[in-house]
Amino acid sequence: MLKSKFFVVALAFIFVLSSLATPVANASGSFFKDANLEQAVMDSLEVDELDENSFDEFMGLYGSEYGITSLQGLETYGTNLNTVLLDSNNISDLTPLTNLTQIEYLELSNNNISNIKPLSGLKDSFLSLGYNNISDISIFNGWTSAWLDLSGNNITDITPLKNLTEGVVYITENPLNDKSLELIKQLEQNEELMIIHDGSKFADRLSGQSRFETAVQISMAGWYEADTVVLANGLNFPDALAGGPLAYAMDAPILLTRPETLHASTKEEILRLGAKKVVILGGKAAVSEKVENQLKALDIKIDRISGTDRYETAKKIADRLGSQHDEVVVVNGKNFPDALSIAPYAAMNELPILLVAPDKVPASTKSVLSKASETLVIGGYAAIGKSLEKDFPNHTRISGANRYETAANVIEELEMDPMHVFVANGRGFADALTGSVLAGYFGSPLLLVNPDEAPEATMMAVEKYDINNFTILGGEASVPEFVVDQLLRD
């Protein structure tokens, strides 16, 4: 059975990656005690210096990995904050956040926090507090709804959560006592509440009425806002195959359109995201000039990446990721399954995906390969001929008897974390393509199924790694609920 619709939305904020900048180590801040916090504020506001008027529009603080130790000053200058991302610092004192009850999204994972009482006013907020030193969660006494990541702490007693009836609580990697484990069983009876704990089973679905709307649902699950969107032809795959790593590098969702007109749901999502630029993959036959003009009418800047063929387009996408690459991925450009299997891994590591024909390495692909030192070849000899291996520097081939086994072998060979896995129909490209960037953000692999069954190779991987947590990409026509039940082994 599918569980709560809240899960993927919650994970999107748990794992959201904010922009990084170089911290300042030994400066004296004029508005904040911690100079690294001051630098994070300036970077968030995109200014070189601060004055008293700087904070009128200070609604988002993006300070992941800045070496911040003190939040002093936010109590005065953070009163307009809506989104605060401060994961992976050395913060311990949350007192400056006590009265900032307008915050809706607060990311504080991987810090040195033990006392969370200053957050008691954030009852309707999403709180990501994983991997700290928290043991006392009494601030949640009486709460009936919550969106929390409490994983990786020292929590033994979750009694304060006993009144919850809706939301998501991520409680893995905690030394829960027997009383808490019994309470979880009771709480799981609430259909609108998901308690994610060690050994829990769940499957959530991201889907729309069409592939275009499914792409929008994936975007909404992963992006609160985005300056850039990657746009691809939703009816054909060649130009879009290599787009995942570029979208990941730009922190951009991949959306789909028909060749001749911008899909209405795609347009609405671009506006919701507040995008200022759209990167179009492919030439005007793939995404027409009419679509380009429709975007320009929205006052959006257009950046088109295209070549004379799919191989050159992939090469040009690779060029956007850098002039030289130590490691590259090579897949068959005539078909899509192998590219989909590797897309999350390639995205999260920002490895360009290059295309070849089964019996030929195009010149455009060779030009990138000539500068690489390692090659990941995805697919068997029927997909990428053995004779081509001479053009692949220091290559490693990952393949299987079919597309489903190849996807499973990618998990094993690349030692991807299978705790949470994305699942898509292996007979279509669209849902897996648009979901690959989100999977990359989660560090999650992708498994393939078909509308008739969860294939043997896929089920063997599920059993081998004891996979219990799935995000299904696409509607029931693509991945029926009985296939999901097979994955959950219900």
What does DSSP assign to residue 411? H
The fraction of the chain above a pLDDT of 90, given in percent, is 77
Q: Which helix (H) or strand (E) holds 330?
A: strand 327-332
CA distance linking residue 93 with residue 472, whole number of Å: 39
pLDDT at residue 11, as a whole number? 47
Tens-digit pLDDT profile for residues 180-205: 989 988 998 887 888 888 776 778 89
Question: Given a cut of 80, is residue 236 above it in pLDDT?
Answer: yes
CB burial of 284-298 (b: ≥16 within 10 Å; e: otherwise) equals: eebbbeebbeebeee
Query: What's the maximum distance between 2 C-alpha atoms anywhere in the chain?
Result: 67
pLDDT of amino acid 313: 94
Mean pLDDT of 309-320: 94
Task: State the CB neighbour count (10 A cutoff) for residue 206.
Answer: 26
If DSSP states are collapsed to H, E and C, what string results for 132-177? CCCCCCHHHCCCCEEEEECCCCCCCCCHHHCCCCEEEEECCCCCCC
Mean pLDDT of the chain: 90
Is residue 29 predicted with pLDDT exceeding 70? no
Cα 411 from Cα 431, distance rounded (Å): 19
HSE of 300, CA atoms in CB hemisphere, 13 A: 28
pLDDT band at 9 (very low <50, low <70, confident <90, very high): very low
199 backbone φψ class: left, alpha, beta (φ>0; ψ -120 to 50): left
pLDDT tier for residue 4 given thresholds of 50, 70 and 90: very low
pLDDT at 485 over 80: yes
> If pLDDT is split at 50, 70 and 90, which confidence band does 452 have?
very high
Residue 140 above 70 pLDDT?
yes
Go through the domains of the chain in sequence order and give each one's CATH number.
Answer: 6-200 (3.80.10.10), 204-488 (no CATH)
pLDDT for residue 304 is more than 50: yes
Percent of the chain with pLDDT over 70: 93
pLDDT digits (tens, 9 = 90+) for 454-477: 999 999 999 999 898 899 999 999
Distances (CA, A) of 340 to 76, 126, 336: 48, 31, 6
